[in-house]
């Protein structure tokens, strides 16, 4: 197992927002996380990444057979976890290129990815300052591509993105997750989506429904999305009872 | 002249409005004599390197003019462009009938004991005049250097940018690397005439027991622009200054940028005042300060006298270590209906969310903090020559690395 979350509880401030989550992702698999606003999806990703505001109050996270429950964020990143944020902070004065430069690799490879996402003009801008919703998503994705993690956590990668850019983003994610490979695929993903649009660009292996901090349903992501779309989240949760 | 002396005499013991009182008599007045150095050869390589750190280059051909004052002696003064005049202030006073129109016309000699001392015991300073319509292609550089232990240096500078001219002045203030104690008093009067643009960039690298009391006033006429960049990332004992920019002509514009760091033992009381006195005037004061254990009072005052005057003030402070304080004191003084003035002030630590965001990209906590601090100090300074912008970036980067 690449990622094993067992009985994980997470609190934000004094409030427990995730209650005993169990979820596993194997190498090469793409999972999708559904759920209403406020159900705890972002909290789960932030806790996996190790953000201090998301306090782990119980349970365990294992990644590549290591217990990473208390591991510092940057060590998780080094170990191969990367995340695209729903609402990343603005870093005043820090140019996007200053961060891009830290990823190493060859200059021309970096430039190829930058132009592939049409992000060249953003390099001299402060990170996320005045970026539109879609521009933030592209900037996040660019960083992830250069970081090249093995487990890719995407928090609503398509929300706020226009129809033209959604194509670019969809294709980039597909490539990032090595969907073109079959047997040798090493990349895995956990993707939060409301619109389901991303499912038009890549096949997902497994869906999970999060409601009020509990996993309420697991199954075929397309079927789950159909149910949510036609009958709502509650109906989707009912299927397992 | 006698009025000036009278006013100064009366203010001999008048404490400054802000900042710790300084015992002027505890500093030496007998400076060693230095011969002139037309080719900049008398400075050692290590001294030159030191000057490079405050934006002063040894190649006069890269500047429209170069002026170096060592202790009390103007050791070097060279000019490189027609219409750009650079003289020691004593030479200028002798040549131009005491500079009657400009001498002590923006700053009052009776302001406090520091202006009084500059009026009563002038050592020297620089005089720069750019003739009407002349655009200085390269910056003029002036270095004010203290090399003698315990010395006080009383400077008076006058800068005149005539109508439609353009000038960039780089002033590098520094002390000999091994110098301990000294006092720098500096009066500066800027006259930015109709449609002219002056950018004044000041870099500082003081010894850690240096006391600094600049007194600066700027008069900006119609359609003219005055930009100031004040950079002090190495320590000093005590710096107190509160330059005044008066926008007296319609559509005059100013922007004052300050970035500074207070190490343990340092006491900074720095600000900027802009008086908006004519229609269409615009002002911006930006200050970014960091304490690593020293004290900072960061002031800003905007006074709006006319409807439609627009100004903004931003004081941000980062506390990276305990032991000192940052007090941000932004003030807005609106005198009529129709002024538009605003301010934002923030004092705190580096945002944990920002650090963690960068850590999620693989940076260590220290790398992330250094990058954020660099960004914090990365104030947009317009019109800097490339190598100076690079130098400031280098200083900022070195600072970021040194604290984390
Ligand atoms: N920083 C925070 N401060 C207070 N409450 C928070 C914070 N972050 C999340 N929450 C709360 O935790 C719950 C889960 O939020 P989140 O994980 O963002 O949900 P989702 O991503 O599913 O919309 C919500 O009730 C939300 O209001
Ligand atoms: Mg969310």
Buried b (16+ CB within 10 A) or exposed e, B131-163: eeebbbebbbbbbbbbbbebbbbbbbbbbbbbb
Mean pLDDT (whole number) for B323-348:
96
Mean pLDDT (whole number) for B156-165:
98
- Res B251 pLDDT > 50: yes
- Going by alpha carbons, the residue nearest to atom 2 of ligand 1 is A12
A163 neighbors A197 (Cβ within 8 angstroms): no
Q: Which of A17, A10, A48, A18 is nearest to A191 (CA)?
A: A48
Q: Pick the ligand that lies closest to the CA of residue A33.
A: 1
Residue A152 pairs in a beta bridge with A82, A189
Ligand 1 atom showing the smallest separation from residue A192 Cα: 21
- Going by alpha carbons, the residue nearest to atom 12 of ligand 1 is A17
Q: What's the mean pLDDT when you consider all of chain A?
A: 94
Q: Which of B82, B199, B205 is nearest to B133 (CA)?
A: B82
Q: What share of chain B in percent tops pLDDT 90?
A: 82
Quick one: pLDDT band at residue B98, thresholds 50, 70, 90? Answer: confident
Q: Which two tokens stand for residue B302?
A: 């905007």
**Alpha-carbon distance B403 to B394, whole Å?**
14
Output the CA–CA distances (angstroms, integers) from residue B303 to A86, A130, B108, B243, B274, in the order listed: 42, 30, 19, 14, 6
Contacts of A85 in chain B (CB under 8 A): 357
Say if A201 is an interface residue toward chain B (CB within 8 Å): no
- Res A240 pLDDT > 70: no
Mean pLDDT (whole number) for A179-198:
90
Say if A129 is an interface residue toward chain B (CB within 8 Å): no
- Res B248 pLDDT > 80: yes
Say if B358 is an interface residue toward chain A (CB within 8 Å): yes
Say if A74 is an interface residue toward chain B (CB within 8 Å): yes
Contacts of A78 in chain B (CB under 8 A): 362
Distance from CA of B230 to the nearest CA of A (A): 17
Q: Pick the ligand that lies closest to the CA of residue A213.
A: 1
pLDDT digits (tens, 9 = 90+) for A3-13: 999 999 999 99
Provide the pLDDT for residue B1: 62
Residue A9 pairs in a beta bridge with A58
**Best residue in B290, B346, B352, B357 to probe A by mutation, most A CBs within 10 Å?**
B357
Provide the pLDDT for residue A182: 80
Query: Closest residue of B to A92, CA-based?
Result: B375
Contacts of A103 in chain B (CB under 8 A): 361-362
pLDDT digits (tens, 9 = 90+) for B344-385: 999 999 999 999 999 999 999 999 999 999 999 999 888 788
Mutate which of A43, A84, A214 for ligand 1? The one with the most ligand atoms within 8 Å of its CB, which is A43
| Spacing of C-alpha A239 from chain mean position | 26
Beta strands in B61-205 (DSSP E): 65-70, 73-79, 84-88, 126-130, 140-146, 151-161, 166-175, 181-192, 197-205
3-state secondary structure A45-109: HHHHHCCCCEEEEEEEEEECCEECCCCCHHHHHHHCEEEECCCCCCEEEEEHHHHHHCCCCCHHH
Mean pLDDT (whole number) for B326-349:
96
B319 neighbors B334 (Cβ within 8 angstroms): no
3-state secondary structure of A217: strand
**Best residue in A78, A83, A94, A104 to probe B by mutation, most B CBs within 10 Å?**
A94
pLDDT digits (tens, 9 = 90+) for B103-144: 999 999 999 999 999 999 999 999 999 999 999 999 999 999
A193 CB less than 6 Å from ligand 1? no
Contacts of B375 in chain A (CB under 8 A): 91-95, 98, 126
Provide the pLDDT for residue B330: 97
pLDDT digits (tens, 9 = 90+) for B260-296: 999 999 999 999 999 999 999 999 999 999 999 999 9
**Alpha-carbon distance B177 to B46, whole Å?**
9
Stated pTM of the model: 0.91
Domains for chain A: give ranges and CATH numbers. 3-238 (3.40.50.300)
**Best residue in B361, B373, B374, B375 to probe A by mutation, most A CBs within 10 Å?**
B361
Mean pLDDT (whole number) for B28-41:
89
pLDDT digits (tens, 9 = 90+) for B173-206: 999 888 999 999 999 999 999 999 999 999 998 8
pLDDT digits (tens, 9 = 90+) for A104-146: 888 899 999 999 999 999 999 999 999 999 999 999 999 999 9
Residue B127 pairs in a beta bridge with B87, B158
The owner of tokens 């990668």 is: A157
Distance A41 CA to ligand 1 centre (A): 8
Residue A107 pairs in a beta bridge with none
- Res B167 pLDDT > 70: yes
Distance A219 CA to ligand 2 centre (A): 21
Q: Are strands A188-192 and A30-34 parallel, antiparallel or unpaired?
A: parallel
Longest alpha-carbon distance in chain A: 54
Mean pLDDT (whole number) for B22-34:
95
Q: What share of chain A in percent tops pLDDT 70?
A: 99
A59 neighbors A44 (Cβ within 8 angstroms): no
**Alpha-carbon distance B139 to B169, whole Å?**
6
Residue B256 has a CB neighbour count (10 Å cut-off) of 24
Provide the pLDDT for residue B58: 83
pLDDT digits (tens, 9 = 90+) for A25-54: 999 999 999 999 999 999 999 999 999 999
**Alpha-carbon distance B230 to B260, whole Å?**
8
3-state secondary structure of B342: strand
Ligand 1 atom showing the smallest separation from residue A44 Cα: 17
Residue B342 pairs in a beta bridge with B312
Least CB-CB distance to A102: which of B354, B363, B372? B363
Output the CA–CA distances (angstroms, integers) from residue A87 to A84, A99, A129, B152, in the order listed: 9, 17, 12, 55
Burial status of residue A44 (CB atoms within 10 A of its CB: 0-12, 13-18, 19 or more) = buried
Distance A226 CA to ligand 2 centre (A): 21
Choice among A171-180, B195-204, B316-325 with the minimum mean pLDDT: A171-180
Output the CA–CA distances (angstroms, integers) from residue B219 to B149, B197, B215, B223, B322, in the order listed: 35, 12, 14, 12, 39
A213 CB less than 6 Å from ligand 1? no
- Res B238 pLDDT > 50: yes
Provide the pLDDT for residue B276: 98
Touching B: A residues 134-173, CB under 8 Å: 143, 147
A161 neighbors A133 (Cβ within 8 angstroms): yes
Mean pLDDT (whole number) for A217-225:
93
- A240 contact partners, CB below 8 Å, separation of at least 6: A216, A217, A218
Mean pLDDT (whole number) for B310-329:
96
Mean pLDDT (whole number) for B44-64:
84
B71 neighbors B153 (Cβ within 8 angstroms): yes
Determine whether the interchain pair B372/A78 forms a contact, defined as Cβ–Cβ distance below 8 Å: no
Mean pLDDT (whole number) for B84-97:
96
B49 neighbors B93 (Cβ within 8 angstroms): no
Determine whether the interchain pair A93/B365 forms a contact, defined as Cβ–Cβ distance below 8 Å: no
The owner of tokens 């047997």 is: A183
Burial status of residue A168 (CB atoms within 10 A of its CB: 0-12, 13-18, 19 or more) = middle
**Alpha-carbon distance B135 to B81, whole Å?**
10
Q: Is B75 left (phi over 0), alpha (psi -120 to 50) or beta?
A: alpha
Q: Which two tokens stand for residue B237?
A: 């004992």
Distance from CA of A128 to the nearest CA of B (A): 11
Distance from CA of A236 to the nearest CA of B (A): 33
B128 HSE (CA, 13 A, CB side): 36
**Alpha-carbon distance B397 to B382, whole Å?**
19
A30 neighbors A188 (Cβ within 8 angstroms): yes
3-state secondary structure of A143: helix
3-state secondary structure of A147: helix
Quick one: pLDDT band at residue A241, thresholds 50, 70, 90? Answer: very low
Q: Pick the ligand that lies closest to the CA of residue A156.
A: 2
A37 CB less than 6 Å from ligand 1? yes
Q: Which one has a higher pLDDT value, B275 or A198?
A: B275
Provide the pLDDT for residue A197: 87
- Going by alpha carbons, the residue nearest to atom 24 of ligand 1 is A38
A21 neighbors A59 (Cβ within 8 angstroms): yes
Backbone φ and ψ of B399, nearest 5°: -65, -50
């Amino acid at each position: 197992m690449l990622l094993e979350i067992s009985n994980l509880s997470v609190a934000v401030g004094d409030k427990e927002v995730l209650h005993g989550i169990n979820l596993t992702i194997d190498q090469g698999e793409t999972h999708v996380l559904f759920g209403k606003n406020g159900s705890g999806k972002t909290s789960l990703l932030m806790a996996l990444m190790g953000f201090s505001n998301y306090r782990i109050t119980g349970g365990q996270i294992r990644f590549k057979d290591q217990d990473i429950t208390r591991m510092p964020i940057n060590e998780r990143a080094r170990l191969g976890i990367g995340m695209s944020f729903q609402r990343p902070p603005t870093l005043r004065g820090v140019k996007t290129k200053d961060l891009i430069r830290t990823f190493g690799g060859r200059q021309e490879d970096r430039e190829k990815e930058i132009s592939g996402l049409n992000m060249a003009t953003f390099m001299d801008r402060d990170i996320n300052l005045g970026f539109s919703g879609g521009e933030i998503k592209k900037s996040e994705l660019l960083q992830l591509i250069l970081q090249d993690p093995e487990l890719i956590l995407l928090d609503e990668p398509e929300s706020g993105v226009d129809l033209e850019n959604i194509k670019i983003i969809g294709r980039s994610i597909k490539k990032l997750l090595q969907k073109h490979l079959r047997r040798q695929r090493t990349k895995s993903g956990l993707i939060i989506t409301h619109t389901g649009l991303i499912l038009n660009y890549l096949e997902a292996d497994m869906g999970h429904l999060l409601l009020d901090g509990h996993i309420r349903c697991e199954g075929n992501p397309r079927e789950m999305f159909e149910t949510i779309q036609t009958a709502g989240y509650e109906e989707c949760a009912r299927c397992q009872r | 002249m006698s009025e000036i002396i009278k006013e100064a005499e009366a203010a001999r013991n008048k404490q400054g409005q802000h900042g710790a009182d300084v015992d002027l008599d505890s500093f030496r007045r007998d400076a060693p004599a230095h011969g002139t150095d037309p080719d900049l050869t008398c400075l050692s390589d290590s001294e030159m390197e030191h000057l490079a750190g405050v934006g002063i280059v040894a190649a006069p051909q890269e500047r429209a003019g170069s002026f170096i004052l060592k202790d009390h002696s103007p050791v070097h003064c060279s000019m490189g462009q027609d219409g750009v005049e650079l003289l020691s202030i004593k030479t200028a006073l002798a040549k131009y009938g005491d500079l009657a129109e400009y001498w002590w016309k923006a700053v009052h000699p009776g302001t406090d004991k520091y202006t009084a001392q500059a009026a009563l015991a002038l050592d020297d300073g620089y005089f720069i005049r750019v003739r009407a319509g002349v655009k200085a292609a390269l910056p003029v550089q002036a270095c004010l250097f203290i090399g003698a232990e315990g010395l006080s240096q009383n400077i008076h500078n006058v800068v005149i940018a005539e109508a439609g001219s353009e000038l960039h002045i780089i002033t590098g203030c520094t002390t000999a690397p091994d110098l301990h104690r000294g006092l720098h008093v500096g009066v500066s009067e800027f006259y930015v005439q109709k449609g002219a643009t002056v950018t004044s960039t000041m870099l500082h690298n003081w010894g850690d027991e240096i006391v600094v009391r600049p007194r600066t006033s700027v008069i900006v006429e119609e359609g003219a622009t005055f930009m100031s960049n004040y950079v002090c990332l190495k320590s000093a004992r005590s710096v107190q200054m509160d330059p005044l920019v008066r926008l007296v002509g319609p559509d005059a514009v100013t922007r004052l940028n300050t970035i500074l760091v207070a190490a343990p033992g340092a006491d900074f009381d720095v600000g900027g005042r802009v008086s908006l006195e004519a229609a269409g005037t615009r002002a911006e004061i930006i200050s970014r300060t960091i304490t690593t254990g020293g004290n900072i009072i960061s002031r800003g005052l905007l006074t709006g006298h006319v409807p439609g005057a627009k100004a903004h003030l931003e004081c941000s402070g980062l506390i990276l270590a305990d032991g000192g304080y940052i007090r941000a004191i932004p003030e807005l003084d609106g005198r009529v209906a129709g002024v538009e003035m605003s301010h934002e002030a923030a004092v705190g630590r580096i945002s944990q969310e920002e650090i963690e965001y960068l850590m999620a990209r693989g940076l260590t906590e220290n790398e992330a903090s250094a990058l954020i601090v660099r960004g914090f100090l990365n104030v947009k300074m317009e019109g800097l020559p490339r190598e100076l912008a690079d130098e400031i970036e280098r200083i900022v980067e070195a600072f970021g690395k040194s604290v984390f």
